[in-house]
Amino acid sequence: MKTVKTMCARDCYDSCFILADVNDDGGLVSVKGDPDNPITQGFVCPRGKMDVSRVYKNRVLYPQIRIGNKPGRQFRRTDWNEALETISGKLQEVIKTHGRESVLLLDYSGNTGLLSEVYPHRLWNALGASRTDGAMCSKSGKTGLALHYGEYYGLQPESLLDRDLIVFWGFNAPVSSAHLWALALQARKQRGATIIAIDPRCSEAAKHADLHFQPKPGSDTALVMGICRILIQKNYLAHEFIEKYTLGFDKLEHEIMSWSPQRVETETGLDWNAVETIADLYGKSNMSATLMGIGLQKSINGADLVRAVSFIPALRGLHRGFFYSNSDAFFIDNNYIAGNSFSNLQPKTVSQVALSQRVRDGAFKFIFIYGMNPALTLPHQSAFRRGLSTDAFVVVHDTHWTGTADYADVVLPAPTFFEKQDIVVTWVHRHIRLSPRVIKPLGESRDEVWLMHELARKLGVQEQWVLADPWKELEKAFEGAFVDGTFQDLLAGKTLLLKLKPPDRYNTPSGKLEFYSSRALEMGIAPLPRHCPVKPGAGEFILLNSAVRNYTGTQFTESYGPIPAVVTINPADAARLKITGNGRVKLANDLGCVEVGVEISDAVPGGVLWMPRLSVCLDGKPMNDLTSPITQVIASGPTFNSTLVKLIV
C-alpha cells in the first residue's frame, strides 16, 4: 500500500488537498483529506468520499464510433488510429466545405487542471475554431465586480478566522463549500463571530446560521440599497476610506436615498426592522466578510446583484471585504497556456448561454466537447438536443458515459484526474501542489494533451506552439507566481503559496474603487447597480435551482444515483392547488413541460419553487428544458433563477 499526495481537480470552491491510498495491484483504495492545507483542513466532502467507487463505474474505456441513430448508445468499439482518422477527416471536410467558424469547441471545467482544461485550446486556436464565451457559471458576476474594482478578486479564506461578522449571501456553503463553512464555524466558536445567511430559500446554511433573512428572489439590489440607507443615516460610513480610495459616492448616495423604507419593503418582502438588523450588524462590525455565492448571479440581473452587495464592505472601510471568486488574484498567465494570442485566425466567440438555438439552427457542422456535459447543463435543452441530432458531427472526450455521449458520433475515453499528472489552480485559496498520476489510466483512456498533439499531427498542424512541451510552457506561465519557491519545487512535490495581488489595488481608469463606474458608462451599461425585479404573471411561480450535497454538476450519479427530480413548494401554495406530498406535478412554460415529484415545505416562500440543479425529470426530460437562453445584459450570463413556470396538477 502506498499513499499519494494530490489535489482534487473538480470545479469546486475548495480544491482539496487529498491523500489517495493505492494497493499493491495499483488500485485506488481510499481517498482522504490531507491536513497539509489550512483551508481544506484534512477532510473531504461527500463527493470526495465516493471517488473510489466513481473511478471504476460507468467509464468510457475505449474509442467508440456510432452505428445507431441519435440519441442512444449504439456504438462499435474501435482503435485510436481509426477514431483519429475519422475525426481528422471529418474536421478537414467541414473546414473546407463550411469554413472554420462552423467548427465549435465546446468545453468547460469538468476537470480544472491546467493541462486538462486550458492547454488543449492551443489546437483549436490554431484551427480558428469557434468557441463559447464561457459565461454559463460566473462570468457576469466577475464582470460586474470588475466594473467597479478593476478586477474581481476578494478576501482570502484564511481571513475568515479574523472576522466578527460573516455573511453568506446567496451562498449555501455547507453544500457548495464545506471548508469555507468550516472556517466560518471555527470563527464563530473561537471569537464569537455572527453568521448570517441571506437566501430566498431556507438552505442548509440558513438552518445553521445565527440569523436568516429571506428576500424575494432577485431583489438583492433593493435590499442593499435599504442597508446602505441605514448605514448613511446612522453614520456607520468609513468617511476617510471613502474619501481616499473611492470615487462616485455622491452618485451612489443619491440612488440610495431614493429608496424609502416602504419601497425596500415592497421590493424585498422583508420588514424594515429586518433590514435595520442587517445594517446594524454591518455597522457595528469592525471586520466583516461578505461571501457571495455563484448562484447569486444566475438571474436576469445577476451581475447587478453581485456588484451591489460588494459595496457594503467598502462603505464600512474594507478593501475587498467580499468574496465571489479569486481566480484573477494570482500571477499565472492562463492566456499563454491557452495560446490565445498565438494565432492570426481570430476565432469567433459565441454565447454559451444562448448556444442551443445556434446549434439547433445548424450553425456548427463539427462540435468537439470535453470537460462538459452540455446535453444536460445548457439552457433550452430541446433546441440543443435537436441540433446535436441533425447534421452536426459530434465528438465527445470524457471519462464517463453521459447524456451528451448519447448524441456523439465518436466517443473518446479520457482519464480521471487520478490517472494523469496535472496542476490545479484553485479559484479560492492560494495553496498549490503538483497533482501526480495516482493510478494507471483505465482501459485505453488518453489525456487531453496527448489527444491534442495526435490530432494536430493527423491534421498537419505545424505550429510549434501547438506541439510544444506542455510542462515547459507551464513553467513560463508560472514565472513570478510563487511566494516561497519555484516551478521546479512544485514539480518536486513541495507545497507552495501563490503570490497575491494586493487588496487595495484597483485597476480602474481612476485607480480607485469606482462606485459609479466609468467603464460601465463607456460600455453603455448602467454605472450603478440596477434593480430589475422578476415579475411572475397570473398563476406563475419563480423556479429556483441550486446544487445539492452529493453532486458536482452532473458528476456522481454513478455513486449516488440520479439527482432528485423533486420540486419544493410552500404549504400555502400546495393547499391552494390541492397538492399533497409524494405526488407528481408538471412544470411548464413556453419552452417545455416536465414531470417531477413534489415536496411540501416552508423552506421556500409563497410563489417560489425550488429544485436540485441539473436533474433529469421523471419523464426523462432535463430540467433545463424550462430554462431560457436569454442572457444578462452584463457579460451574457445565465438567467436560470429567473425561470417562470406554471404548475399543473
**How many helices and strands in the chain, by DSSP H and E?**
25, 28
Q: Is 211 within the bounds of a domain? A: yes
Q: Which of 34, 33, 29 is nearest to 52 (CA)?
A: 29
Q: Is 413 within the bounds of a domain? A: yes
**Alpha carbon distance 514, 526 (integer Å):** 13
192: left (phi over 0), alpha (psi -120 to 50) or beta: left
Residue 66, pLDDT score:
98
**Alpha carbon distance 386, 17 (integer Å):** 41
Is residue 421 a contact partner of residue 436, using CB atoms and an 8 Å limit? yes
Q: What percent of the chain has pLDDT over 70?
A: 100
384 and 302 in a common domain: no
CA-derived radius of gyration, the chain? 25
354 and 279 in a common domain: no
Whether residue 38 is preceded by a cis peptide bond, meaning omega within 30 degrees of 0, is: no
Q: Is 248 within the bounds of a domain? A: yes
Rounded mean pLDDT, 481-495: 97
Cβ atoms < 10 Å from Cβ of 317: 17
**Alpha carbon distance 413, 63 (integer Å):** 6
Q: Which of 271, 256, 261, 272 is nearest to 221 (CA)?
A: 256
pLDDT at 140 over 90: yes
Residue 255, pLDDT score:
98
Is residue 109 a contact partner of residue 555, using CB atoms and an 8 Å limit? no
Residue 434, pLDDT score:
98
Residue 346 pLDDT grade (very low, low, confident, very high; cuts 50, 70, 90): confident
238 and 287 in a common domain: yes
- CATH number of the domain to which 89 belongs: 3.40.50.740
Containing 2, the helix (H) or strand (E) segment is: strand 2-7
Residue 473 pLDDT grade (very low, low, confident, very high; cuts 50, 70, 90): very high
635 and 564 in a common domain: yes
457 and 359 in a common domain: yes
Work out whether the CA dihedral 264, 268, 273, 275 comes out positive or negative.
negative
- DSSP at 29: E
Residue 569 pLDDT grade (very low, low, confident, very high; cuts 50, 70, 90): very high
**Burial call 410-429: b when 16+ CB within 10 Å, e when fewer:** bbbbbbbbbbbbbbbbbbbb
320 and 205 in a common domain: yes
Whose cell is 463553512? That residue is: 181
416 and 302 in a common domain: no
320 and 177 in a common domain: yes
Rounded mean pLDDT, 199-212: 98
Residue 417, pLDDT score:
98
- CATH number of the domain to which 176 belongs: 3.40.228.10
Q: How many domains does the chain have?
A: 4
How far out from the chain centre does Cα 124 lie? 23
| Strand extents, DSSP E, 176-255 | 194-198, 211-213, 246-247
pLDDT at 51 over 90: yes
Q: Which of 277, 326, 302, 304 is nearest to 165 (CA)?
A: 277
3-state secondary structure of 489: helix
Rounded mean pLDDT, 253-271: 98
Rounded mean pLDDT, 312-330: 98
- Which residues are registered as beta bridge partners of 514? 247
**Alpha carbon distance 132, 365 (integer Å):** 15
Cell numbers representing residue 91 in the block: 474536421
pLDDT in tens, 596-646: 999 999 999 999 999 999 999 999 999 999 999 999 999 999 999 999 999
| Strand extents, DSSP E, 84-129 | 103-107
129 and 25 in a common domain: no
pLDDT at 335 over 90: yes
230 and 192 in a common domain: yes
Q: Tell me whether residue 578 is exposed, middle or buried, using C-beta atoms within 10 angstroms of its C-beta: 0 to 12, 13 to 18, 19 or more.
A: exposed
Q: Is 225 within the bounds of a domain? A: yes
Strands of the sheet with 28-33, listed across from one edge? 2-7, 17-22, 28-33
pLDDT at 391 over 90: no
Mean pLDDT computed over every residue of the chain: 97
Is residue 423 a contact partner of residue 407, using CB atoms and an 8 Å limit? no
**Alpha carbon distance 507, 557 (integer Å):** 42
Q: What percent of the chain has pLDDT over 90?
A: 99
**DSSP assignments along 451-466, one per residue:** HHHHHHHHHT---HHH
pLDDT at 582 over 90: no
pLDDT in tens, 360-372: 999 999 999 999 9
- Which residues are registered as beta bridge partners of 369? 106, 396
- CATH number of the domain to which 10 belongs: 3.30.200.210
Rounded mean pLDDT, 63-79: 97
Q: Is 630 within the bounds of a domain? A: yes
Measured in degrees and rounded to the nearest 5, phi and psi for residue 16 equal -65, 140
Describe the crossing of helices 261-268 and 272-284 by its angle, rounded to 10 degrees.
Answer: 100
- CATH number of the domain to which 617 belongs: 2.40.40.20
Rounded mean pLDDT, 452-472: 97
Q: Is 609 within the bounds of a domain? A: yes
Query: What residue numbers bound the domain in which 620 lies?
Result: 540-648
Rounded mean pLDDT, 371-400: 97
pLDDT at 581 over 90: no
68 and 130 in a common domain: yes
Is residue 370 a contact partner of residue 120, using CB atoms and an 8 Å limit? yes
Cell numbers representing residue 597 in the block: 415529484
Maximum Cα interatomic distance, the chain, rounded to a whole number of Å:
72
Q: Is 16 within the bounds of a domain? A: yes
Whose cell is 456607520? That residue is: 236
pLDDT in tens, 33-46: 999 999 999 999 99
Containing 272, the helix (H) or strand (E) segment is: helix 272-284
**Alpha carbon distance 606, 43 (integer Å):** 37
| Strand extents, DSSP E, 293-399 | 322-323, 349-350, 366-370, 393-398
Is residue 1 a contact partner of residue 27, using CB atoms and an 8 Å limit? no
117 and 44 in a common domain: no
- Which residues are registered as beta bridge partners of 413? 398
Residue 338 pLDDT grade (very low, low, confident, very high; cuts 50, 70, 90): very high
Q: Is 571 within the bounds of a domain? A: yes
How far out from the chain centre does Cα 300 lie? 17
